[in-house]
Amino acid sequence: MDVDAVLALSPDKQVAGSAARLAAPGNWSELGHDEHALWGLCKGSGKKPYQVCVDLTDRATTCSCPSRKFPCKHAVAVQVMHARGNAPAGQPPEWVSEWQHRREVRKTPKPLDDSPEAVARRAAQRAKTVEARDLAVQGGVAGLREWLADVARRGVAELAGRDRGWWESIMRRMVDAQAPGLAGALEDLATVVFSGGQHWAERAADRLGSLHLLATLAANPPPELNDVIRMRLGYTVTEQEVREKPAWHDSWVVLLRKDEDDGRVRTTRQWAWGRERREWVTVIRHAAGNAIPGPALPVGEFTGDLHPYPAGAPRRMAVGDRDPSTAARPIELSATWTDALAGLEPLLRQDPWQRLHPLTCKHVRLAEGLHAIDADGRALPVVDDLAADRALAIHGGQPFDAIGLWDGWSFRLGAVAEPGEAPEVVS
Give residue-wise pLDDT tens across range 51-104: 999 999 889 999 999 888 889 999 999 999 999 999 999 999 999 999 999 988
Last residue of a domain, one of 215, 233, 251: 233
Is the separation of the CB atoms in 418 and 403 below 8 Å?
A: no
Q: Considering the chain, what is the average pLDDT of its residues?
A: 93
> Is residue 63 assigned to a domain?
yes
Q: Is residue 299 part of a domain?
A: yes
Q: What is the pLDDT of residue 13?
A: 85
One domain for residues 228 and 244: no
Q: If pLDDT is split at 50, 70 and 90, which confidence band does 360 have?
A: very high
Q: Is the pTM of this model over 0.75?
A: no
- Other CB atoms closer than 10 Å to residue 82's CB: what's the count? 23
> Which tens digit of pLDDT belongs to each residue from 147-199?
999 999 999 999 999 999 999 999 999 999 999 999 999 999 999 999 998 89
Residues of the domain holding 168: 123-233
Report the 10 Å Cβ neighbour count for 102: 11
Is 383 part of a structural domain of the chain? yes
Residue 219 and residue 142 share a domain: yes
Residue 12, Ramachandran bin (φ over 0: left; ψ between -120 and 50: alpha; else beta)? beta
> Among 116, 101, 93, 119, which Cα is nearest to 40's?
93
- Confidence at residue 11, expressed as pLDDT on a 0 to 100 scale: 84
pLDDT (tens digit per residue) in 366-412:
998 899 999 999 999 999 999 999 999 999 889 999 999 999 999 99
Q: Per-residue pLDDT averaged across 297-318, rounded?
A: 95
Same domain, yes or no: 226 and 134: yes
**11 & 97 share domain:** yes
The answer to whether residues 25 and 102 belong to one domain is: yes
Residues 223 and 247 in one domain: no
Residue 330 lies in a domain: no
Name the region of 20 (left: φ>0; alpha: ψ -120 to 50; beta: rest). Answer: alpha
- The domain boundary, picked from 182, 198, 233, lies at 233
pLDDT digits (tens, 9 = 90+) for 316-345: 999 999 999 999 999 999 999 999 999 999
Same domain, 256 and 210: no
Predicted confidence (pLDDT) at residue 298 exceeds the cutoff of 70? yes
On the question of pLDDT at 263 being above 80, the answer is: no
Report if residue 117 sits inside a domain.
no
Claim to verify: residue 101 and residue 131 sit in the same structural domain: no
Predicted pLDDT at 114: 83
% of the chain residues with pLDDT over 90: 81
Domain end position, chosen among 184, 216, 233 = 233
- Whether 118 is in a domain gets the answer no
Sheet containing strand 61-63, edge to edge, reads: 28-33, 37-42, 50-55, 61-63
What's the pLDDT score for residue 290?
A: 61
Cα–Cα distance, 253 to 328 (Å, whole number): 6
Residue 389 neighbours by CB under 8 Å, 6+ apart: none
Domains contained in the chain, number = 4
| Residue 372 falls inside a structural domain | yes
Same-domain check for residues 130 and 86: no
| Percentage of the residues of the chain whose pLDDT score is greater than 70 | 99
**Same domain flag for 192 and 269:** no
Do residues 1 and 83 touch, judged by C-beta distance below 8 A? yes
Tell whether 226 and 247 lie within a shared domain. no
Same structural domain for residues 347 and 257?
Answer: no
Residue 67 domain-assigned? yes
